[in-house]
Structure 1
């Protein structure tokens, strides 16, 4: 698609960003919202396939439901002249594949931070019953602030329909393909978990676990070969961290994590000293395969031959009485049948007896042990893990699970709750909201944003947090509210012409504007605005100065009218540093030693008196201001500057000659 083409009457194409097996991607500019976006166009050779088009549209619309800081947002899905397109958030940065190549080796904590963001995003997709099916570093973007964002949600399903004919796509994806997908089976949420384990492997080693000249050879390794040890590559990697890789990439889906949240929880503590002596993860052994032994036919024939009368035993005088021999043959066959039945019965009676595992979830350990004992089962090891639903010290589940069969007197493993997983809140003041929210959401914390104008804090930085640093919270019950700087507020300046001075001052106070008054003779009513700068309708920032010219009334014609002299006086206002404060609600706010001062200036001259504020302004350092005076010849003016209700500067004898 050529540059400057306007797609859908809204998206102006700027340049090509890349080409893939499914679609081509372009940088475009949204003419309505005035922002850069990425536009993905279905490839020409796939536009005549109605099934692919339908999947592209349906999955694209489904992806618009996935709102998460670590998922590339899908803004729009449409069609123009047979071109299927998808409009997405433009992420300025690089994909994770390039990031690994450029930054390897990556510190373990940074690896965990990246994975926690990715896992948080996949958890949201799985909650919407969307399986990515093509998770790989090429589909994970890292922006210039270090935030990870997953892309190609929804399109991955459509891509799998053409996977066998898209050789480049298969070669790019087969390195992260689960064994069940490699066998041609159905992809599940646990298939995504396998791919996430391979991505974690690559983050730790800088390479993929299996390589080969063809996609088929690599796929075969996924369901035949064991994942190489990351600790053999780097012995410094903790065993607990390698265990996350091993469990996520288990050959059998049942041996993997149940959910990506379970994987995130395990990964979060993998660097903890408490897990330093953890044993290497080994998947659960296959169930014992009992074999039913059948009596060998040759043995049966031998037994029959042994019991069958020999020809020499038959009296010579009765050689033709074959019916008797046939009779004995029937008897012997009957005895053999009885013998086989007895052997089978003995085998059946000798087999291990099985019982049904009872449901002990929600019980105490003692209660669970008693219930297992009543079912002729023993208690095995006890593993403690967090649970948002089961109270502390109560049983979450068993292994084997409830209602499953188990051998009589076998040991049943108990999983006991340590209560909800608590999250420690850090100090996020002054940090980027986007990165902070991503880190908190990756830990399961609900984050609420509220914007507030600020002249001192950069746009997008956190100004306040509702939970103080160091506190531990239950992410299922507590929402963290972050107050984020929206920068200086802008407003459209009202029309002040014709308004009285008092009205203008009230407006300035309400909108946090500084008003500077000038005077000149005019036919308009005295103290009425006859001019303003900037003009009405202009966009101005909060704290800006607006110069308003007021009427002195009609110019007198009497020669006895006193002469009024205009002159300026420069005054330096000292700044007083403020100490940081914590609000009464316990919210932590931006700590600053600079702060701001709000001061009011009062003047007394021909046009003003001390009864009204001449100008109010906000300063963050020592500031020099110029005060205009109009003083009758032979008289003096005055000024006073007030901060926090106290006069800090004053001069009641201001004359032109003295300044």
Structure 2
């Protein structure tokens, strides 16, 4: 199909989007409704194949029945010049397979959000008794807003249409194939759940659990090998989340979730603190097959069938009938023929059998020696140690202790593992392998930029856990608001900005509600205790330092407002922390300014957004943890920072723009003053 060709006088082909085993997909423009659409056109070499046509038509029928925001919509079905086509919703973005490759590692909350959308769509299909049978990341599209949409119901089947599923016929992608499908059994709703578990595994680890040189070898692993642990890849993944993977991919369908809705409900709470200590999921032993006792009549019939004839006893060839004894009256004279033959041993009587037995014995001894030698030459089994988080050198030494060596080394970007540290080993930890095996290592080549989301109106606790697991440093300040306490009001990192998680500190302004707090007297308390009190009551604290004879160093000696005052949640309390007694003969403090220029960074060229800037100072009166000033800039801005330093004390400042530290200067003295 060439560009600018108009299908049925309505759909003008723009370009090719991809080619599949059954059909080719094109981007087209609907000339009537003035919108972009995706046209799925049956391949020319298959248009006379009745099975392919039936499958193509089945996709149209299945998609027509399913109306869901996370299932690609079907707009039209048609035929032109013997070419059958489907007109579908065009999803601008990429499939989940490529999305994982480009964005990995995905924040855990994002993994849960995408899976929730997929599960909701599959639940709708199952409610219509339609099984997808080919769920895989390549059949899940992610649009530019991050929404998932399932497509390709080409081999979907209604539960009532048993004739569409042929025994010993495997349909679907082998990497996501359920054990029962690998055996050739009919697909069920639990088969889709198994595929969903593999998709979740891939989103968490970046790869499928089973690989092999052939499709058959991969299929065998699906019903013979245990699913590798996602926590061996990343120990920060909660056990509750791994349990969803383990239960969805249980070998026996009876151990899986009874319905997709059950999986969705379980997945939703995996990051909840209440499930932090959850034990690893172990499937129930459902092997209830018993040894069947065959009836006696069947046993007799079987015995009769196995007996082809009775064993016959044959006379020896050298034995002759006994001769009659001679008359006793006159013994006959012995002749040479009448003399008894000398007795011979069995070996002399059977020389050929003797040679055969000796030869057989030699062969058996030789075979036994070969087997023993082969067994002794084989490497002993050993278990792969855990090397995640180690440097390549440390991992090499650890593997060597188990008589293993490093094989292929692959470097990938990672926001969870520091640069030059091991992300995972292949095979994974605790896997039994022969000694002298080569173990592949995946090593972090450093963090990669990711697009920061918009978390306004979300729960701070949920967002904090998600971002911390992705490598961000997360802080908060309170603000009085009519918004529900605990919800995020604003963020200092602009949504959509590209940031390095490990280098980014994001500060959220969190609603403290609208109630009042009776402020207690904070004098005489440590900084840690004051912060805990402020956290529990939704207050912000501004620490300052000074000399005093009233309180020992490190404890507060004054506050503003005073204790007993009613203050609104989200208010800021200034607390003076003691630096100890005023030193004798202490020189007068030096007061000076340091001027710095804060560069503006345009997030988008089309519509520049203001930069959020936070400045932290440390001198006689300021502490490094306390925010000195916050401002927004739309261009390069020059400001003056005030310092007061006494004696040999050194100052410092830190400037954070959109959550990223852009300046961090220490050892500041009066000599750095700007005239």
- Give TM-score scaled by structure 1 length: 0.43
